[in-house]
């Protein structure tokens, strides 16, 4: 647990975010409502980051405790894992979306127990989580494990009916269909899906659940498994 404590102290002592906040506060001072916003930046933002860090640290400590018999202790003490460890903690603090925080948590845990994945692949997946949007992760998670995705998000299985253009806006209601198509195109360019965004406009004999089929490639499944827990 010494690495967790060290990472926590490092992140809390970092002055980088403080410089950004102070700079924006100086700009806001010239506006009538600037004082109220500056107050929020001083009180709310740092406390929220610290709360995420504390919750993430406690969760990881519990995960590693439960999996201690499966952990590669030599890898745990390596520079390779230290790199992943620091990046995941940084990502968990900087992102507020629960799906992304869970992805960083999964990478930390799975890196110690997934022995068939190389260090290069682990770092590639980590970089993807850092750079892909929440929308990308939601689309791929749904395609890979549709029933689990719907259950976790409190959605009924009956919404998966008719074509992609009909049910995807229901599966991911907070994104415009055209934006969903663009994200779908990105995932296909990464080789994570077996079909392009043209499926949204293609007339097919199948519909609903039958239309889903196996739309995720082997690489896509390897990625989504590595950034997920209990799949």
What are 36-62's pLDDT values in tens digits?
445 544 554 566 777 777 788 888 888
Q: Which two tokens stand for residue 196?
A: 């392009």
Mark which of 131, 166, 201 sits at the end of a domain.
131
Question: Do residues 205 and 115 both lie within one domain?
Answer: no
Question: Do residues 175 and 65 both lie within one domain?
Answer: no
Question: Do residues 16 and 92 both lie within one domain?
Answer: yes
Question: Do residues 143 and 124 both lie within one domain?
Answer: no
Which of 155, 22, 11 is closest to 94 using CA atoms?
A: 11
**Is residue 166 included in any domain, yes or no?**
yes
Contact 52, 43 (CB under 8 A): no
Question: Do residues 107 and 142 both lie within one domain?
Answer: no
The pLDDT of residue 16 = 45
**Residues lower than pLDDT 70 in the chain:** 1-47, 205-206, 231
CA 104, CA 95: separation in Å to the nearest integer? 10
**Is residue 231 included in any domain, yes or no?**
no
Q: What is the pTM assigned to this prediction? A: 0.74
Question: Do residues 161 and 142 both lie within one domain?
Answer: yes
The pLDDT of residue 219 = 93
Q: Which two tokens stand for residue 55?
A: 């919750």
CA 136, CA 85: separation in Å to the nearest integer? 23
The pLDDT of residue 173 = 92
**Is residue 61 included in any domain, yes or no?**
yes
Cβ neighbours for 168, distance < 8 A, ≥ 6 positions apart: 177, 180, 200
Question: Do residues 6 and 106 both lie within one domain?
Answer: yes
Mark which of 74, 101, 131 sits at the end of a domain.
131
Question: Do residues 112 and 31 both lie within one domain?
Answer: yes
Question: Do residues 13 and 92 both lie within one domain?
Answer: yes
Question: Do residues 74 and 182 both lie within one domain?
Answer: no
Question: Do residues 125 and 212 both lie within one domain?
Answer: no
CA 185, CA 42: separation in Å to the nearest integer? 39
Total domains in the chain come to 2
**Is residue 56 included in any domain, yes or no?**
yes
The pLDDT of residue 205 = 61
Crossing angle (nearest 10°) for helices 119-131 and 218-226:
80
Which range marks the domain in which residue 169 is found?
135-226
Contact 173, 153 (CB under 8 A): no
Question: Do residues 124 and 42 both lie within one domain?
Answer: yes
Q: Which two tokens stand for residue 131?
A: 């750079």
């Amino acid at each position: 647990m010494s690495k967790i404590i060290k990472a926590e102290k490092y992140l809390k002592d970092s002055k980088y975010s403080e410089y950004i906040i102070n700079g924006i506060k100086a700009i806001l001072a010239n506006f009538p409502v600037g004082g109220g916003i500056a107050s929020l930046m001083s009180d709310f933002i740092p406390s929220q980051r610290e709360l995420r860090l504390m919750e993430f640290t406690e969760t990881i400590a519990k995960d590693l405790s439960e999996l201690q018999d499966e952990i590669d202790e030599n890898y745990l003490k390596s520079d390779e894992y230290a790199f992943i460890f620091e990046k995941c903690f940084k990502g968990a603090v900087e992102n507020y979306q629960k799906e992304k925080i869970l992805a960083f948590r999964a990478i930390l845990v799975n890196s110690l127990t997934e022995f068939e994945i190389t260090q290069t692949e682990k770092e590639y997946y980590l970089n993807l989580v850092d750079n892909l949007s929440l929308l990308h992760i939601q689309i791929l998670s749904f395609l890979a494990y549709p029933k689990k995705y719907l259950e976790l998000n409190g959605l009924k299985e009956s919404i998966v009916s008719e074509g992609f253009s009909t049910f995807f806006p229901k599966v991911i209601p907070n994104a415009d269909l055209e934006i969903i198509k663009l994200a779908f195109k990105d995932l296909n360019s990464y080789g994570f899906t077996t079909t392009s965004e043209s499926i949204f406009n293609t007339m097919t004999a199948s519909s609903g659940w039958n239309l889903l089929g196996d739309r995720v490639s082997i690489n896509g499944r390897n990625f989504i498994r590595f950034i997920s827990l209990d799949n």
